[in-house]
Amino acid sequence: MYSTILFFFILSSGILCLDAAPFNLTWPWNRKNVDPEVNMNASQLILSKGYPCIEYSVLTDDGFILGVQRIPYGRNETKYTPRPVVFLQHGLLCSSTNWITNLANESLAFLLADAGYDVWLGNVRGNTYSQKHIRYTPDQVEFWDWSFDQMAEYDLPAMINYALKITRRNQLYYIGHSQGTMIGFAGFSKNKELAKKVKTFYALAPVSTVGNMTSPLRYLATFLPEIQFLFDLFGVKEFLPSDWFTKWLATDVCSPTSEIFCSSILFIICGFDVNNLNETRLPVYLAHTPSGTSVQNMVHFAQMVNSDLFQMYDYGSADKNKAHYNVTVPPQYYPENMTTPTAIFSGGMDWLADPEDVKTLVPKIQHLVGNNFIAEYDHLDFIWGLSAADKIYKPIIEQIGLTEADDKLRFNKR
């Protein structure tokens, strides 16, 4: 009992007091020569590189207003012409900026635009660009009553259908990272009509079951009942980790030489490889990430660590689950029911999408069109790695080009 009370006190002091004292770090953006991209939003980041940008507000069926950015063509073009659509979906605690914070020749969104594609950048509920609702505000607990279940059920179809409506296309290519793959596996396996609208699903650092993850996120699973009780008691729904909480998670994975990485909960949860990151870009990465999510979403991840099942959110009792799902246990997701052509890109050093969990996932994919394993890659290398353009992005662009060429050939033979 004493340990539980002490845990409540420490956790509430660390997470609920968001103005806690910061780390004693010399932050790169405290220097005189601050990279201007530190203070830009997603649209400004795109425009600063010489690319066109259009912003949209997409309404979900349950009332969330999602911010979506679009790069309709490359920076060497002057006007839009109809072209294939590629939709990029960010991962856990992230936003659309993940695809545009590297240099232009290293960022997937810009490479796709220059290769002749109409690029759409999604943002799920609760992050920096999607904190609006037709009935609730972020100050209300009702605003945060969701996990990735609702992203898969509402956000994903709303954004994909909107992109197809605006561009007057029937299908698009979907590229997800981390949680972006998770909602893809969930959404495309349950929503057959949505799945038909995806030509190919490219899953970077794919996540379904997480029972083998080595990320410090496992620590949350250890204290799951206490965490759920604490947040219910205080009515706290937005996951905004304090510096104390970040430091607590960092103790197991950080050293004095990696302090700057360990100031970000994202690097702590996902891991990092200093040899495959452009350290001059760190101020930009850390200024835009993490981008926020709900406590319920983080609890959902922790639940899946304990259960080792790819399942919906557990409301904590048979009665509550019965009220939500009409069954006493949370329903599972079945990627094997997904017929979308899917290509996997996974890493051998990934703390979150552990190689053992990926091995469990791959045989379940009915229409596997690629299984690419990069032994030295961690979770964030797929979005920020110095070698990502050569090892991942350009092969994807080449494969999309081949798919488009095959489609044109079949069309011409009719």
Active site residues: 178, 350, 379
Q: Residue 151: how many CA atoms within 13 Å on its side-chain side?
A: 29
DSSP, res 227: H
Name the one residue in this structure whose structure tokens are 């179809």: 157
Amino acid at 253: V
Q: Between vectors from CA 185 to CA 404 and to CA 366, what angle results, nearest 5°?
A: 65
Do the strands 118-122 and 64-71 form a parallel or antiparallel pair, or are they unpaired? antiparallel
- The enclosing H or E element of 293 equals strand 293-294
N-terminal to C-terminal alpha carbon distance within the chain: 73
In which region does residue 231 sit, left (phi positive, over 0), alpha (psi from -120 to 50) or beta (all else)?
alpha
The answer to whether the Cα torsion of 334, 336, 338, 342 is positive or negative is positive
Helices (H), 115-236: 148-150, 156-167, 179-190, 192-195, 218-222, 224-234
DSSP, res 332: B
Distances in whole angstroms, Cα of residue 68 to Cα of each of 125, 131, 142, 153, 240: 11, 12, 23, 17, 22
Q: If we measure between CA atoms, which residue out of 329, 414, 404, 352 comes closest to residue 86?
A: 404
Q: Residue 310 in contact with residue 185, Cβ under 8 Å?
A: yes
SS3 10: helix
Phi/psi for 120 (5° steps) reads: -115, 135
SS3 185: helix
Task: Give the integer Cα–Cα distance in Å for 299 and 236.
Answer: 13
